[in-house]
Structure formats: structure tokens, C-alpha cells
Amino acid sequence: MPSTIFVDGLPPAFGSDRVRQLFAPYGKVLSALVSSPTRGHGSAFGFVEMLSSEEAAQAVNALRGTKILGHPIMAYLVLSRNSDGVEASALRSSHPSVPTSEGHLLSGYC
């Protein structure tokens, strides 16, 4: 089942192709989307969709503490919830989960 990773702290010039290259050693990257930094904010954020939750977890764990062009990145597994509030993914991190306004959980970080 595909799994999504939220990545924050990317260098401003780091585009989708470079994010794909960063995550590719850990599994098949289905998509990568990177935002442009907002005015006054020096870093970008993005989303990476990987083929499986196992590959996504491996990428998050491997990239923990990584600096890209001097920018420390943070990565979170995005766990969706079904209509009953039960997580659709059994993958959990030992790190606390952070709820988002869209009913998703961000779990794990690097």
C-alpha cells in the first residue's frame, strides 16, 4: 500500500527531482511534490509518496538527522484515518504522533 512522507526544512532550491533522488535509494518513489518557500521563510516543504509503508519507514529512519545544503530536514510518515477514526496503516513509529487538521497523523521524524 502506498505511503506518504511529509518533508520539511528543504533548501529553497531543492526541487521535486532532487527529492526523488534523495528518497530513491530506500524504495520506489511514486511521486514527489515540493513547495516554494514562503516569503521570509528560508526552507521549503514537500510530500513524497513511496510504494510501501515499509519503504517509507526505512527512508524516514535513514534520513534522520540529515542536512541538505546546510538545512536539517524533518520527515514524517503521514498515516490516514478511516471514517471511524481508526488508522488505515498499521505502521507506527516509536515517536509521538502529531494530529493534523485534515484527520491525518504525522508520525516519526528525522
pLDDT digits (tens, 9 = 90+) for 12-48: 888 899 999 999 999 999 999 998 776 656 788 999 9
Which one has a higher pLDDT value, 8 or 101? 8
pLDDT score recorded for residue 25: 97
Q: How many angstroms separate the CA atoms of 99 and 5, rounded?
A: 14
What is the rounded radius of gyration, in angstroms, for the C-alpha atoms of the chain? 13
Question: Do the beta carbons of residue 59 and residue 52 sit within 8 Å?
Answer: no
Q: What is the pTM of this model?
A: 0.71
Percent pLDDT > 70 in the chain is 68
Domains of the chain in start order, with CATH, are 3-107 (3.30.70.330)
Neighbour-count burial of 53, counting CB atoms closer than 10 A to its CB (0-12 exposed, 13-18 middle, 19+ buried) = middle
